[in-house]
């Protein structure tokens, strides 16, 4: 799959549910309304859809949510998709999770060939964690991370950098993550969906944060050639010996190298996280037992993948770039 700008699409992110057991303030409203279960693709349909993309050249597949591990019987889908790892058609099958369910599923994930997970974590302070997630149990997440590491699964922490919330503890979080053998990636908050918070109050440009890390905290950052297939740019941190990634959709548009598309749990294909254009794959998926119509719809959608997003956060444009929340698109 090659888009109009010559970018080969090899990375697929699939939301298996819009539901989550947390309510992070920058991600969704506290009183979020979730889709009726009948609107979601079945696990068998998700398998068929993912397999069609793998047939078309996708090499990395990430399952997301909401929180993917709250989807009932998700492990049956993961076990089925792992056949593509065994055949060599798929290079990596992984998940992004909030960690609340990891203690229960880590061993089975490892047995299915999951070698790496992204865990979203924005603070190491239990009180602040409960505040930003509105309900989360910090000890449960820590236990999940420790359990996953013991199985041999590598973990990368994803941390949204938030002014007036966690910017002061990010140096400590980096040192802690690296001491545990985990990479860490910092992410700028993005204007996706209506939430209960004013994003301008918490938006922290990573250009500013990197300068603080280097000048105020003495971090020496050397650019790394390490890549995971996503948008993060990695640096080696001299005094910790670990890697630190930066995902900068606001201060540095990385769209020129975009190699990914996203599918919602209803079968809607989003060619860009920051644009509204989408393609319905549920209808062709259900129209026939043959995948001919599905492949045609995928090809037509990739042919109109846009050059990039239009994210803006400032006090004059304090509106979401798109109305759907991150939990709908799957990150």
**96 known member of a binding site:** yes
Residue in this structure with the two tokens 């699939």, named with its chain if needed: 14
**88 known member of a binding site:** no
Residue 248 has pLDDT above 90, yes or no: no
Mean pLDDT of 136-161: 97
CATH class of 11-329: alpha beta
Mean pLDDT of 225-250: 89
* pLDDT 10s digits, 314-330: 544 555 445 555 556 66
Residue 69 has pLDDT above 70, yes or no: yes
b/e code 169-180 from CB counts within 10 Å (16+ = b): bbbebbbebbee
Long-range CB contacts for residues 231-237, cutoff 8 Å, separation at least 24: 231/257, 231/258, 232/185, 234/183, 237/174, 237/178
**50 known member of a binding site:** no
Give the start-to-end residue ranges of the domains of the chain.
Answer: 11-329
pLDDT score at 200:
59
Mean pLDDT of 24-40: 86
**13 known member of a binding site:** yes
* pLDDT 10s digits, 295-313: 999 999 999 998 875 555 4
Radius of gyration, alpha carbons of the chain: 19
Structure tokens at 143: 């236990």
**156 known member of a binding site:** yes
pLDDT score at 316:
44
**270 known member of a binding site:** no
Query: If 0-12 CB within 10 Å is exposed, 13-18 middle and 19+ buried, where does residue 239 land?
Result: exposed
**112 known member of a binding site:** no
**26 known member of a binding site:** yes
Percent of the chain whose pLDDT exceeds 70: 88
pTM of the model: 0.88
Residue 249 has pLDDT above 80, yes or no: no
**260 known member of a binding site:** yes
**258 known member of a binding site:** yes
- Angle at the Cα of 64 (from 169 to 95), degrees rounded to 5? 75
> Taking Cα atoms as reference points, which of 34, 92, 88 lies closest to residue 65?
34
């Amino acid at each position: 799959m090659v888009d109009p700008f010559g970018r080969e699409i090899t990375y697929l992110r699939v939301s298996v549910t819009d539901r989550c057991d947390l309510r992070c303030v920058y991600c969704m409203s506290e009183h979020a309304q979730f889709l009726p279960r009948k609107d979601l693709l079945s696990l068998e349909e998700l398998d068929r859809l993912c397999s069609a993309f793998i047939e078309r050249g996708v090499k990395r597949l990430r399952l997301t949510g909401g929180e993917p591990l709250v989807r009932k019987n998700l492990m049956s889908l993961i076990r089925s998709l792992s056949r593509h790892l065994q055949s060599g058609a798929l290079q990596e099958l992984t998940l992004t999770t909030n960690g609340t369910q990891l203690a229960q599923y880590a061993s089975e994930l490892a047995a299915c060939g999951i070698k790496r997970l992204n865990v979203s974590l924005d603070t190491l302070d239990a009180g602040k964690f409960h505040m930003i997630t509105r309900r989360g149990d910090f000890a449960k997440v820590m236990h999940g991370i420790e359990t996953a590491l013991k199985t041999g699964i590598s973990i990368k922490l994803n941390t949204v950098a938030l002014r007036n919330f966690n910017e002061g503890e990010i140096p400590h979080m980096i040192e802690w993550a690296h001491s545990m053998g985990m990479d860490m990636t910092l992410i700028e908050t993005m204007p996706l969906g209506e939430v209960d918070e004013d994003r301008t109050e918490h938006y922290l440009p990573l250009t500013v944060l990197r300068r603080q890390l280097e000048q105020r905290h003495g971090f020496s950052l050397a650019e790394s050639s390490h890549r995971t297939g996503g948008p993060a740019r990695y640096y080696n941190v001299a005094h910790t010996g670990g890697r630190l990634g930066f995902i900068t959709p606001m201060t540095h548009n990385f769209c020129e190298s975009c190699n990914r598309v996203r599918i919602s749990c209803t079968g809607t294909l989003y060619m860009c996280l920051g644009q509204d254009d989408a393609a319905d794959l549920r209808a062709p998926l259900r129209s026939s037992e043959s995948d001919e119509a599905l492949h045609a719809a995928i090809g037509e959608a990739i042919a109109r993948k846009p050059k990039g997003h239009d994210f803006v956060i400032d006090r004059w444009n304090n509106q979401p770039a798109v109305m759907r929340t991150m939990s709908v698109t799957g990150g």
